[in-house]
Structure 1
Amino acid sequence: MATLYDGKMATIYDAMYQTFVDYDEEYKFYNQLIHEYKCKTVLEIGSGTGNLAKRFQENHQDYIGLDYSTSMIAIAKERTKNCRFILGDMRDFNLEKKVDSIIITGRSTSYLTSNEDVNETFNSLHNNITDDGIIIFDFIDANRFIPYANENQLIIHKAEHEGTDYLRESTWETTLLENFMLDWTAKYYIIQNQEKELIATDFSTVRVFTLNEMQLFLYMNGFQIIKTIDRKTYAYDTYVIVAKKRT
């Protein structure tokens, strides 16, 4: 798994996603599920720059964030002074004490490009939740996204944050699919005087999944699905899965 959003990309990500994502709504969505299943402790994987962490902290919840990027965690620590963040890999981590809910947010499952990555991640989740605990995660729906990416060779997103206008131009290479993987190239610009200035280029190989694939991965790793939510999120059609250990 590649190093994600390090250096200035972490700052650009943080600025643009303030427009892309309604973090109050995002917190409400996950928090409602956590309370529905009477969870008291939560680990967020893909905690990024701490936007959800801030909201968990403001509501005095027992929260830990885990992220793969040192730069993202540095921003998160500035945003939320008293939250605990762990630099780690979702495929292989060990908490000091098991939690009763683990959420993987922001479609971070997209970076699990091999079957081994997926199996290792679910095994780590299984080892770090209580027997009655739940996992909640989202993933991009391959059946809807691949046709969309094929039909839209250039995908543009605009954002504004603290008086700066941003533009992202994304291209997706879908001709050579293995495990429904796509090569994603994104060019980031700021707009000044109606002219765009390139500030960063990012390349990633990501994976999208079918619902049936995820169902089988969970089953093979000792989980059973208790809820499936078809959810439209920023730029993508996604599914959200709630699962628990299989008894």
Structure 2
Amino acid sequence: MGSLAALTLADARFPGGGHVHSGGLEEAVARGLVTSVSDLRPFLAGRLRTTGLVGAAFAAAAVVAATGMGAQWAALDAELDARTPAAAQRDASRAQGRATLRAARLAWPSPVLDDLCAVARHPHHALLVGAVVGVDGGSPAEAAQVVGYLAVSGPASAAVRLLGLDPFAVNAAIVALRPVLDAVVTQALHTSALPPERLPAPGAPVLDLMAQAHVHHHREQVRLFVS
């Protein structure tokens, strides 16, 4: 049996605040970079291989930390910050972590979550997912899969709302990413016990720039998504 926490955290109905974040998709749509399912596929694949891989690797490492066999929370938090150069993306990650924490403390009360929050009052979402999955007895691979999946399912859902795309076609596009997701999970699993400074650090400069631009535009006009 897998971790119930992993299934719950990946559920779109989980009250973790993910529905207000598009993962950069709204800005990409506004710039005409994504207009169809054909455009959406490479956007999602690129996001999964970069931002998704970073989050998955840190979620897997957080499971190791939660079980008392790995790195300290302060080091993980600092290294994840360093791999998230855009302030807008750091804010979005911690906002989702804060929202997830409220639900997690009721469902999975644990001193592990208290230890994480003692270091980071508003933990990064990936670290919190890993901590909760670890508390629930789940594996690093499960935590990595949750974070990797959320890295694409959120933007995919946003694409349906922003562009009116066929939800069946969008769902098929997510499923087609299975080989990429599997590769991301495998890499995250292989690095989960490494020191935090040696965890994967692929960059996504375009996503970083669009995240910052989205914050600027959000102040000027009403946007559907916070990020």
TM over 0.5, shorter chain: no
TM-score using structure 2 length = 0.29
Higher relative contact order (CA 8 A, sep 6+): 2
Query: Which of structures 1 and 2 has the bigger CA Rg?
Result: 1
More helix by share: 2
More strand by share: 1
What TM-score comes out, normalization by structure 1 length? 0.28
